[in-house]
Chain A
Amino acid sequence: MTRLLVLVLAFAVGGPLAAQRGSSRLAGRVPAAALPAIDSMIAAAVAEGLPTEPLVQKALEGSAKGIPTDRLVNGVRRGLLQLRQARILVGRAVPGQPQPEGHVAAVAAALARGLPPSIVERLLTAAPNEAPAPVLHAAADLVAHRFDADAATDLLVEAHNKGLRGVRLLDVAAAADHELQRGGRTPSDALARVRAMLPDVPAPAVTRRGPTGS
């Protein structure tokens, strides 16, 4: 009960901080010299219908790290460009429909992880009305572990077609990496073994080694 009370108090304190947006959160944290340019980019994002939280977070991050003003501004600008590119990709996947800010932010995050736009577009098209973050992260995980991007995408699309959704797609990527780590297998072999398991891909065991969540 005490811990619950602490939780409630902590979120009551943190809630308003989280609920503040844009300019008011940056004042006092971002160097004054960077504020006009960053404010302008946030205003542009608002006007263009893009999510602003990724830009606010990037400004706070750079300020916390003590990044020099010009590189701080460039970092936020890079984020704005990724959001614009993300919105184009989402628009292509669901032409003529509204583009949820959450979907645009998730696609921008995937692009930041180095996922090729063509792969992003394939995955968005395969599941146009679902939150894209899990499948995009799963694809980015596989690409980061040196699996062929197209082959990895094929596996994820197949997993989706067999009913796997959300974090279960992350399990598909984790299973492929686990198969590869076993040794004696090529990336193609590892993907084939996971394909054969679908849809019964095991969820990863929870351990205390390293950060856990997923």
Chain B
Amino acid sequence: MNDGLADVEVIARVLGGDGEAFGILIRRYEPGLLRFATRMLGNSDAAEDAVAESLVRAYRHLAQCRDPARLRSWLYRITGNRCRSHLARRHVNDIPLSEAPTPALAAASDSWVELERGEQVALVERALAALPAEKREAFVLKHVEGMSYEEMAAVTGARIPTLKMRVHRAREALLVALEALV
């Protein structure tokens, strides 16, 4: 399947009856959506569910993607809402971290660079999960997904000044958490 098509061309194909063409969009966007959902939910199984549900919903409502040039924002918006729904159905404290066994807190003599990569990932995930959902989302969209504040506003529905404050507070909180863990 020709993967060199622009989003707007793929959407036109799907709306013209070529449902299989939607696979192009899935392969194009699922790495970022899965990463986003995993960071939001702290659980890869839940993230897969949220992203799969979101992509099916996006397919069903593809004709309502008002601006095909902004498909990415639209997909992240749907996925963000699915993640919020998942979070609302369970307490944050119950979120397990990565599948790797939770490492014991680093000894005082350990430094960040001495930790194994897996231990580093687990520590960062724990610090991220400790953030309130709104700040976590803003931080991930800005620094992990590399979005502009304009795109983040389209994804979250929040105003840009609000998003800047959330990102700022998330960075502060994350640093404090990382310092406490290592």
The judgment on whether A and B are partners is: yes
Residues in A lying within 8 Å of B, measured CB to CB: 20-24, 39, 42-44, 46-49, 52, 96
CB distance from B4 to the nearest CB of A (A): 27
Which of A20, A24, A44, A47 has most chain B Cβ within 10 Å? A47
Contact with A along B144-181 (1 / 0, CB 8 A): 00000000000001000000000000000000000000
Instruction: Give the distance in Å from the alpha carbon of A23 to the alpha carbon of B62 in the complex.
Output: 11
- A selection of 23 A-B contacts at a CB cut-off of 8 Å is A20-B63, A21-B64, A22-B63, A22-B66, A23-B64, A39-B66, A42-B66, A43-B65, A43-B66, A43-B74, A43-B77, A44-B157, A46-B57, A46-B61, A46-B64, A47-B74, A47-B77, A47-B78, A47-B80, A47-B81, A48-B81, A52-B64, A96-B89
Further contacts, 18 of them, CB under 8 A, given A42-B64, A44-B157, A52-B64? A20-B63, A21-B61, A22-B61, A22-B64, A23-B64, A23-B66, A39-B66, A42-B66, A43-B66, A43-B74, A46-B57, A46-B64, A46-B78, A47-B77, A47-B80, A49-B81, A49-B82, A49-B85
With A43-B77, A47-B74, A47-B77 known as contacts, the answer to whether A23 contacts B63 (CB < 8 A) is yes
CB distance from B129 to the nearest CB of A (A): 22
State whether B64 touches A43 (Cβ < 8 A).
yes
**Which residue of chain B is the closest to A48 with respect to CB atoms?**
B81
Residues of B with C-beta under 8 A to A52: 61, 64
Contact with A along B76-101 (1 / 0, CB 8 A): 01101110010001000000000000
Which of A21, A48, A49 is B63 in contact with, Cβ under 8 Å?
A21
Residues of B with C-beta under 8 A to A47: 74, 77-78, 80-81
Which of A43, A49, A52, A96 has most chain B Cβ within 10 Å? A43
State whether B85 touches A24 (Cβ < 8 A).
no
Residues of A with C-beta under 8 A to B81: 47-49
**Which residue of chain B is the closest to A20 with respect to CB atoms?**
B63
Which of A22, A44, A46, A96 has most chain B Cβ within 10 Å? A46
Residues of B with C-beta under 8 A to A49: 57, 81-82, 85
State whether B77 touches A24 (Cβ < 8 A).
no
Residues 85-134 of B at the A interface (beta carbon under 8 Å): 85, 89
Residues of B with C-beta under 8 A to A96: 89
Residues 50-70 of B at the A interface (beta carbon under 8 Å): 57, 61, 63-66
CB distance from A27 to the nearest CB of B (A): 10
CB distance from B46 to the nearest CB of A (A): 14
Kindly list the 3 A-B residue pairs having the minimum CB-CB distance in the complex, ordered from nearest: A22-B64, A47-B77, A46-B61
Residues of B with C-beta under 8 A to A22: 61, 63-64, 66
Instruction: Give the distance in Å from the alpha carbon of A23 to the alpha carbon of B15 in the complex.
Output: 14
Residues of A with C-beta under 8 A to B64: 21-23, 42-43, 46, 52
Residues of A with C-beta under 8 A to B85: 49
Instruction: Give the distance in Å from the alpha carbon of A124 to the alpha carbon of B80 in the complex.
Output: 28
Residues of B with C-beta under 8 A to A42: 64, 66
Instruction: Give the distance in Å from the alpha carbon of A31 to the alpha carbon of B3 in the complex.
Output: 38
CB distance from A26 to the nearest CB of B (A): 10
Instruction: Give the distance in Å from the alpha carbon of A44 to the alpha carbon of B65 in the complex.
Output: 11
Instruction: Give the distance in Å from the alpha carbon of A23 to the alpha carbon of B64 in the complex.
Output: 6
**Which residue of chain B is the closest to A95 with respect to CB atoms?**
B89
Residues of B with C-beta under 8 A to A39: 66
CB distance from B141 to the nearest CB of A (A): 14
Instruction: Give the distance in Å from the alpha carbon of A120 to the alpha carbon of B64 in the complex.
Output: 30
Instruction: Give the distance in Å from the alpha carbon of A52 to the alpha carbon of B57 in the complex.
Output: 12
CB distance from B77 to the nearest CB of A (A): 4
